[in-house]
């Protein structure tokens, strides 16, 4: 380690030499410090980073956390984490040392966030507050598990916000048919919503579909990818989970509709996206269709709930539904338990008969 005075610019330069994880000698430096003390402080911070000591600042640990986690996550998943890190965590904790951040400081940060307003002038939702807190806690957990931090101050401070509500909105088949009728003036919108409702696919899965995904002889559509718009670029990623890779059997009327739709498209290759629209476009069309048809406004994702509720009403098991929509069967049972027919009376009757036998 060394600090030098640059007489030409009257500033200080710090040079830090170290041995990396595979034994190679490395060097990093930074110029432009106004004082020798600032240059030495930067030196000390580099030492903490390379030795993984928890005297490093939260900002430095965020760089290490990024190096560890970013290569392991889908691009859109990391983009969400990075946004929270840059806008909600670093402004408050960035200059603090990891080892000195206290539960009281976490509580102060929580209280500050709970007072803030979003771009619409409304307080952050309980779900969003919970998401932000979980990200901070995840970083401290990573430091505890891999870098020797003694404890996670978030655990002592307690959480904020609430997890997603189990309450969900959905359309009945009759409501959806009213909505679909209002969509027929715009074929692209109509066929997009048909796929969402009758197949129960996710929004990103819909927008990633190509002609090659359809097998009209077998009457199936393969879900193997998802579309995201990240930093102004179109990004195709694997589906949300491994279970999400699936082949869905389409009803014959939907197969006919999608064949009609593909014939309407001009100069579309087998691997070109067939719905060249944005998520915001779908949301605007949802607003329009709900208003024109007179049905209640639900979220795009609630069409997936609507598909699942329809299948439950038709008598299909949680396992069969899970295979179709790319969930684990236990998730279907947990999230949609209130929609399945109650077996409690039948159970009580059979137990009564068993005792009497």
DSSP 266-279: SS--TTS-S----H
Q: What kind and span of H or E run contains 183? A: helix 173-183
Q: pLDDT 10s digit of each residue in the chain, 357 long?
A: 577 677 778 888 887 766 555 556 776 778 778 887 887 777 777 766 665 577 888 998 999 899 999 998 888 888 889 999 999 999 999 999 898 999 999 999 999 999 998 888 889 988 899 999 999 999 999 999 988 888 999 999 999 988 765 567 889 999 999 999 999 999 999 999 999 999 999 999 999 999 999 999 999 999 999 998 887 888 888 887 788 899 999 999 999 999 999 999 988 999 999 999 999 999 999 999 999 999 999 999 999 999 999 998 898 988 999 999 988 777 777 777 777 766 667 777 788 887 776
Q: What is the pLDDT of residue 290?
A: 96
Quote the pLDDT of residue 348.
Answer: 79
Q: What is the pLDDT of residue 164?
A: 67
Q: How many CB atoms lie under 10 A from the CB of residue 245?
A: 14
What are 261's two structure tokens?
Answer: 């739709």
**Using the 8-state DSSP alphabet, how is residue 350 labeled?**
H
3-state secondary structure of 222: strand
- Reported as half-sphere exposure (CB side, CA atoms, 13 A), residue 236 has a value of 11
Contact in structure between 6 and 24 (CB atoms under 8 Å): no
Three-state DSSP state, 292: helix
Q: Looking at residue 313, what is its pLDDT?
A: 87
Using the structure block, give the residue that is written with the tokens 């490093």: 56
Location of structure tokens 């409501």: 175
Decide: 33 and 13 in contact? Cβ < 8 Å.
yes
Distance between CA atoms of residues 65 and 49, nearest Å: 11
End-to-end CA distance of the chain: 86
């Amino acid at each position: 380690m060394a600090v030098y005075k640059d007489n030409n610019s009257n500033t200080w330069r710090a040079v830090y030499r170290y041995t990396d994880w595979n034994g190679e000698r490395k060097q990093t430096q930074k110029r432009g410090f106004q004082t020798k003390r600032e240059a030495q402080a930067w030196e000390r911070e580099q030492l903490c980073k390379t030795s993984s000591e928890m005297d490093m600042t939260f900002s430095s640990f965020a760089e290490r956390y990024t190096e560890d986690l970013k290569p392991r996550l889908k691009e859109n998943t990391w983009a969400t984490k990075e946004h929270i890190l840059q806008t909600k965590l670093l402004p408050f904790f960035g200059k603090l040392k990891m080892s000195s951040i206290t539960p009281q400081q976490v509580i102060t940060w929580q209280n500050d966030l709970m007072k803030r307003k979003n771009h619409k002038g409304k307080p952050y939702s309980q779900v969003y507050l919970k998401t932000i807190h979980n990200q901070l806690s995840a970083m401290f957990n990573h430091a505890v598990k891999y870098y020797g931090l003694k404890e996670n101050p978030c655990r002592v401070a307690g959480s904020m916000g609430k997890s997603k509500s189990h309450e969900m909105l959905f359309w009945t088949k009759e409501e959806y048919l009213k909505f679909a009728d209002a969509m027929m003036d715009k074929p692209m919108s109509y066929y997009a919503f048909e796929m969402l409702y009758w197949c129960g696919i996710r929004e990103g899965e819909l927008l990633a579909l190509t002609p090659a995904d359809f097998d009209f002889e077998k009457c199936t559509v393969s879900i193997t990818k998802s579309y995201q718009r990240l930093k102004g670029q179109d990004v195709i990623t694997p589906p949300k989970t491994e279970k999400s890779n699936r082949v869905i059997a389409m009803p014959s009327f939907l197969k006919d509709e999608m064949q009609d739709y593909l014939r309407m498209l001009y100069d579309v290759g087998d691997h070109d996206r067939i719905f060249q629209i944005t998520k915001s476009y779908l949301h605007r069309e949802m607003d329009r269709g709900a208003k024109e048809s007179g049905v209640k406004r639900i979220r795009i994702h609630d069409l997936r709930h609507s598909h699942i509720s329809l299948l439950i009403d038709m008598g299909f098991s949680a396992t069969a539904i899970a295979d179709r929509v790319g969930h684990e069967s236990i998730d279907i049972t947990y999230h949609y338990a209130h929609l399945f027919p109650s077996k409690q009376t039948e159970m009580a009757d059979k137990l009564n008969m068993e005792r009497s036998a």
